[in-house]
Amino acid sequence: MRRLFLVFLVFASFNCAAQCPVELGEGRRDFDDQEYRASRIALARNVISATTSRNDGACFAAAAQYLGKFRVEAAIPDLIRLITLERKFDHPDRMLTIADKYPAVAGLLGMGEAAVPSLLDVLASQETTSLASRNALEALMSINSGHEGDVLAALSSFLSNEKDVIRAQRLTYALSTVRSDWCRRPFSTCEKVGSGSR
């Protein structure tokens, strides 16, 4: 009860509208108890799919992170659909990252490579300047942080199989953006392909 109370306090600090069914973070039981984990995954998926829950940014973020942590790939379509859903902070106490601002991105980052095909599809299907496309590229680069060369390879492969001219143009733009921007950044490893696990 005490833990729930504390959680409630945290939600209150983020102006949560209702009690979140998913506790923030994961504990040992989530790893050891499959039934418990399955029940928490079900709750997290309910949070992601229920419109009202999305009003509670902290709850939505917790659910997305939980699904990402346990790589619930079935949730990827929901997370992709909500990739532009922004979480509001009244008094942010840190410099916010893309994953802080867009909880669905945090969930997709946890999915790792499993999310890459869906993210590539967002790049192909959304306008290049759209928030969805920008967030998808950020997520793609974040999943491959330290392995930017893999993004180039994945984009090139996806592009070579793309028959639709418009989609191909968008992918070409993304490829160009990675080369001209991301590959020139510090810590970028565009020459590095196929190493490490993400």
Partner 1 sequence: VDETLRPATDYQSQELDAVWYMPRGGRAKVAVGNSSANPVSIIISDSTGKDRNITLRGYETRMVEISATGADKDGATQSITIHSSGEVGAVQAIGYLLFPEGGIRTVRMYDPAAMRSADLFATNLPIANRDVQLVLRNVGQHTLLARPRFRSSSSGSLSEGDVPLQLAAGESRIVDTTALMLRAAADPDFKAISVQIANSNPEEGSIIGSIAAYDSSSRVSFEIPLRDRGTLRTSAGSYPVRLDGDYTTIVSITNVTEEPAEFAGSIFYKQGTYSIAQRSLSPGESAIFDIADLRNRQVPDGGGTKLPSDLTNAQFNWSMLNGRDTPRLIGRSHLASPTRGISASFSCAECCPDSGVYRSVAPPGLTLTIDGFQNFTNSAQVVTCYGETQNLYESIPWNEINSSVAYSSSTSNNNNRSFGVSPGSASSYIDTFYTEYTPANCAFTETDYRLEQPETVNPTVAFGTLAAVVKGATTGIQVTVTPSPTSTPITLTLATSTGSGSAKFASNNSATMTITSTGSININGVTESSTMGNISLVASLNGKTLSSTTFTVVWVTLNIITSGSVDPNGDNGVAGRYFATTNQTTLNSPSIAFNGVLIQGTVAPVNFTGAIDLKRSKVSYARYDDLSNGSTLIPGDPYTCGNPDLTQCAGDSGTVNENVDNTPSTAGHVYDWDIPGTTINNPNSGDVGRITRTRQNFAEWASYNGVTVSNILRWYNRNSAKVAQSLSVGYESSFAGDNQAGQGTTSTAFDLH
Tell me which residues touch partner 1 (CB under 8 A): 2-3, 6-7, 9-10, 12-13, 24-32, 62, 65, 68-69, 91-100, 106, 109-110, 112, 138, 141-143, 145-146, 148, 185-188, 196-198
Cα angle: 102, vertex 105, 111; to 5 degrees = 155
184 vs 198: CA distance, rounded Å:
22
Q: Which two tokens stand for residue 155?
A: 């984009």
Contact 79, 117 (CB under 8 A): no
Q: Which residues contact 173 (CB under 8 A, 6 or more apart)?
A: 128
CB of 185 to partner 1, least distance (A): 6
Buried b (16+ CB within 10 A) or exposed e, 5-16: eebeeebeebeb
Owner of token pair 């967030």: 135
